[in-house]
Structure 1
Amino acid sequence: MPRQFPLKGFRGPRLRSTAAVFTTLSALAATSLVTGPSVAEPFSAVPCALQRTDAHHSEGLDTWNAAYPRPTRALNAVMVFLSFPDSVPRTTPAELTADHFPATSRFFEQASYGRFTLRPHPLNHWIRMPRASTSYAIQRDWNAKNRDAYLHDALAAADPQVDFSRYDIVYFVADPDAPGVDSDATKVVNLDSPLHADGKDIRRVVTVFERHPPDRLVLAHETGHVFDLPDLYHRPDDGKGDWDTYVGDWDLMGSQFGLAPDLFGWHKWKLGWLDPRQVVCVREAGVTRLTLEPLGAGPGVPATGVAGPPAFGVGHGTKLAVVRTGPDSVLAFEARGPVGNDTAVCRAGILVYRVRSGIESGTGPIEVVDAHPHTEACWENSVYPPLADAPVGLGESFTVPDTHVRVEVEGRTVSGAWTVKITSE
């Protein structure tokens, strides 16, 4: 696609919002800081596991921020459909539910290798808001006072009909055809001072203003923020230029329209979907040889991308190699190919990217390293063609710029895994 657009990808010719706006509820947009207690995880002693910092949605993964639900079990999400006095809905809750499910649940089921299930609980009717849609001035970079009013009214209207204590995630879905609804305003609102309903603290709400039909995988992207994942796109100060220069097609948190939108192996490790034994830390100078299983391959989905019965070892092999480059930075190596959520990938191979735990969401905490900086690919479909051919291909070698780290892709196994040599000096 010749043009790229933000938040959480792009939508036709319009831009999506990422700005943090502080409200009188102390409601913070997805790019703001919400602190909370940490819970030590088993991988905290792994030498290449970066420490979590105070950066919002820090890419550190030595501990889990307990202010966020961790998607290592089934989580229940309620979908509340909001109508307004100034509009009669032209769609039904069932139609809007189908816009997002089962696609969103399927994405996470595949990305997590079956370790996480997102269970939607949609209402089957509209709940009427007390004021006209135009009264809330819904828009990208929403006014704090108006957003406060919207959240208060939505919760008050829904509370008599919804037992919020039963749910881990809340989606407030607005009538897409109401005159005051702006689809660019879809985002996660983090609550520094939580709302309360049915004896439960509600610390974050996904406000959905999508058109019907919506952007592809938009709800999966927003739900990623609920799990403490950062925005990986670049938002230019003037709103012009390319938004996908950091990671291109290679992670849902960069673009929901990416050709290979599966979450990075680093994110899967952070979320608890990779075991420590599936991560190789390249700790010393010298040569490390390893076999990397394609990131999208999981139980029942062999590395060749052909579905079949579960096979021993398929989906349980090494997924990620990591070279420590500093106190808060690493280089990560993973195999990407046409399997799982990456079936439309442009170029297969070993993807290399930099991770920095001290960089804020939306300012480049992860950056893909382009192994083919002088070429581009899939210009008709890629959100950022210069990075579409970033992986190191079979038989190729590549020295990562500004490092003494070299990766060589030596071969493929019968099962479709990649044999790799990493040299660190």
Structure 2
Amino acid sequence: MPRPLPRPRLRKPAAVLTTMSALAATSFIGAPSVAESFSAAPCALERTDAHHSEGVSTWNAAYPKPTRSLDAVLVFLSFPDAEPLTTPQELTADHFPATSDFFQRASYGRFTLRPHALRQWITMPRASTAYAIRRDWNAAHRAAYLRDALAAADREVDFSAYDVVYFVADPDAPGVDSDATKVVNLDVPLRADGTDIRRFVTVFEKHPPDRLVLAHETGHVFDLPDLYHRPVDGAGDWDTHVGDWDLMGSQFGLAPDLFAWHKWKLGWLEPRQVTCVRGTGPVRLTLEPLGAGPGVPVTGAAGAPSFGLGRGTKLAVVRTGADSALAFEARGSVGNDAAACRSGVLVYRVNSSAVSGGGPVEVIDAHPDTDACWETSVYPPLADAPVDVGETFTVPGDGVRVEVEGRTPAGAWTVRIVPA
């Protein structure tokens, strides 16, 4: 359960330094002038100026890197036009420990998100309807909301103690729109308690909330892009790019573990766990199930639980261009993917020049004439996308061939990749 905050210290509202220019939220943050070296692997795509670029050559130092324990504060905001029908404790339980557990499993224990939840409501100075909260939020209204929330909370919270800030609104207030939950990035950070705050997670979820919604939004805090496709008119399928196969595509996915590419980007895979396939000759390798980590049981080929996986190869990559690559990883019913519809080797394209929401990752369907799990999948045509044992699949347009030859007694997948 979340730990309570340390005893707060009182300060005057003047401790919050804001300007209207600082509150001009943007959909992107430019690359910093100094970047941390990430990987020199030949298949590591260069990070570009695209918002939440999928490049893994360097880490964008404007974002906290989740390779250590990070502290998050949950601030609960009420409004003068509504009496809350829930408590901060109930809303905390909506998201934790589920959010921390997701990242603990996804990172193989390399990252811990530590929540610190206020136990009382912080009252905003204006009615909920005054902020015109909606998915595509007016910048002026959004700026007013952040300014008021930060000033109101500053008497109770020492913001310098936290890496992540969640502003959680009363879900029953009349002006709160549950579709408006998002991460707000600032081109000029706000400053409070002597620290710069570059982004806020603004939570407007109903109670109970959408499944894993806070984990999805927290992924943006770590520079991960939206992988869904938003139709122009808002109607139609949103999940055509990746279906169930990554949290950043849908928090409702049957197999929402983060792609191995994302785990590479976030620093959760060791260099030896990524294989760069080069040349023209075939390469044989063994891929461990993505969800398997130290101490996580995996059903082996003989049907018996195996605990021997977790440190082997998780990702194979074929470079296809200056900013593009094909990725291969094994997915099965383990860890965050416990409810996966199908198992096998998943193939997807990565484009480091595509912006968040612009298709930076696209799952390639190895069974384009069939679908699966109609009652539960967010996008059944991709639910059976993986290549299964005994199957051979040639990637359309690239000519790269993958053959899934079998399973090891421990449950890994033996694969043969033939470059074009």
Counterpart position of 2:8: none
- From the superposition, tell whether residues 37 and 104 of structure 1 become closer, same or farther in structure 2 (CA, over 3 Å): farther
Q: Which whole-Å deviations, capped at 9, do the CAs of 1:178-201 have from their partners, x for residues lacking one?
A: 111111110000011111110000
Counterpart position of 1:385: 380
Superposed counterparts of 1:42-121, under 5 Å: 42-43=38-39, 45-121=40-116
Counterpart position of 1:40: 36
- From the superposition, tell whether residues 41 and 333 of structure 1 become closer, same or farther in structure 2 (CA, over 3 Å): same
Q: Does 1:317 align with 2:306?
A: no
Distance, in Å, in 2 between the alignment partners of 1:287 and 1:221 is 37
Q: Do 1:37 and 1:67's aligned partners in 2 also have CA atoms closer than 8 Å?
A: no
Q: Does 1:176 align with 2:179?
A: no
2:363 paired residue among 360, 368, 391: 368
Distance, in Å, in 1 between the alignment partners of 2:367 and 2:356 is 26
Distance, in Å, in 2 between the alignment partners of 1:133 and 1:26 is 19
Query: Following TM superposition, by how much is the alpha carbon of 1:321 offset from its aligned partner in structure 2, in angstroms?
Result: 0.2
- State the one-letter code of the partner of 1:195: L
Q: Percent identity?
A: 75
Superposed counterparts of 1:18-417, under 5 Å: 25-28=22-25, 31-43=27-39, 45-304=40-299, 314-417=309-412
Q: Which whole-Å deviations, capped at 9, do the CAs of 1:324-358 have from their partners, x for residues lacking one?
A: 00111000000000000000000100000000100
Q: Do 2:298 and 2:305's aligned partners in 1 also have CA atoms closer than 8 Å?
A: no
- State the one-letter code of the partner of 1:258: G
Distance, in Å, in 2 between the alignment partners of 1:349 and 1:413 is 13
Instruction: Name the Cα RMSD after superposition.
Output: 1.6
- State the one-letter code of the partner of 1:35: A
Query: Following TM superposition, by how much is the alpha carbon of 1:139 offset from its aligned partner in structure 2, in angstroms?
Result: 1.1
Distance, in Å, in 2 between the alignment partners of 1:72 and 1:33 is 21
Q: Which whole-Å deviations, capped at 9, do the CAs of 1:384-409 have from their partners, x for residues lacking one?
A: 00000000011100000011210000
Distance, in Å, in 1 between the alignment partners of 2:373 and 2:274 is 30
Distance, in Å, in 1 between the alignment partners of 2:111 and 2:370 is 37
Query: Following TM superposition, by how much is the alpha carbon of 1:240 offset from its aligned partner in structure 2, in angstroms?
Result: 1.6
Q: Do 1:296 and 1:340's aligned partners in 2 also have CA atoms closer than 8 Å?
A: yes
SS in 1 for 2:298: coil
Query: Following TM superposition, by how much is the alpha carbon of 1:42 offset from its aligned partner in structure 2, in angstroms?
Result: 4.6
- From the superposition, tell whether residues 207 and 248 of structure 1 become closer, same or farther in structure 2 (CA, over 3 Å): same
Q: When the two structures are superposed, what TM-score results if normalisation uses the length of structure 2?
A: 0.93
Distance, in Å, in 2 between the alignment partners of 1:26 and 1:265 is 35
Q: Which whole-Å deviations, capped at 9, do the CAs of 1:40-78 have from their partners, x for residues lacking one?
A: 3352x1000000000000000110000000000000000
- From the superposition, tell whether residues 244 and 96 of structure 1 become closer, same or farther in structure 2 (CA, over 3 Å): same
- From the superposition, tell whether residues 387 and 236 of structure 1 become closer, same or farther in structure 2 (CA, over 3 Å): same
SS in 2 for 1:346: coil
Distance, in Å, in 1 between the alignment partners of 2:153 and 2:160 is 13
SS in 2 for 1:335: strand
Q: Which runs of 5+ in 2 are unaligned?
A: 1-19
Distance, in Å, in 1 between the alignment partners of 2:38 and 2:79 is 48
Distance, in Å, in 2 between the alignment partners of 1:42 and 1:182 is 39
SS in 2 for 1:151: helix
Q: Do 2:25 and 2:139's aligned partners in 1 also have CA atoms closer than 8 Å?
A: no
Distance, in Å, in 2 between the alignment partners of 1:77 and 1:307 is 39
Distance, in Å, in 1 between the alignment partners of 2:43 and 2:385 is 23
Distance, in Å, in 2 between the alignment partners of 1:147 and 1:28 is 8
Distance, in Å, in 2 between the alignment partners of 1:70 and 1:387 is 31
Query: Following TM superposition, by how much is the alpha carbon of 1:239 offset from its aligned partner in structure 2, in angstroms?
Result: 1.3
Distance, in Å, in 1 between the alignment partners of 2:168 and 2:175 is 14
SS in 2 for 1:229: coil
Distance, in Å, in 2 between the alignment partners of 1:206 and 1:38 is 25
- From the superposition, tell whether residues 237 and 293 of structure 1 become closer, same or farther in structure 2 (CA, over 3 Å): same
Q: Do 2:30 and 2:49's aligned partners in 1 also have CA atoms closer than 8 Å?
A: no
Distance, in Å, in 1 between the alignment partners of 2:55 and 2:33 is 14
- State the one-letter code of the partner of 2:112: T
Q: Do 1:233 and 1:254's aligned partners in 2 also have CA atoms closer than 8 Å?
A: yes
Counterpart position of 1:19: none
Distance, in Å, in 2 between the alignment partners of 1:362 and 1:368 is 14
Counterpart position of 1:10: none
Q: Which runs of 5+ in 1 are unaligned?
A: 1-22
SS in 2 for 1:91: coil
Q: Do 1:300 and 1:307's aligned partners in 2 also have CA atoms closer than 8 Å?
A: no
Aligned residues: 399
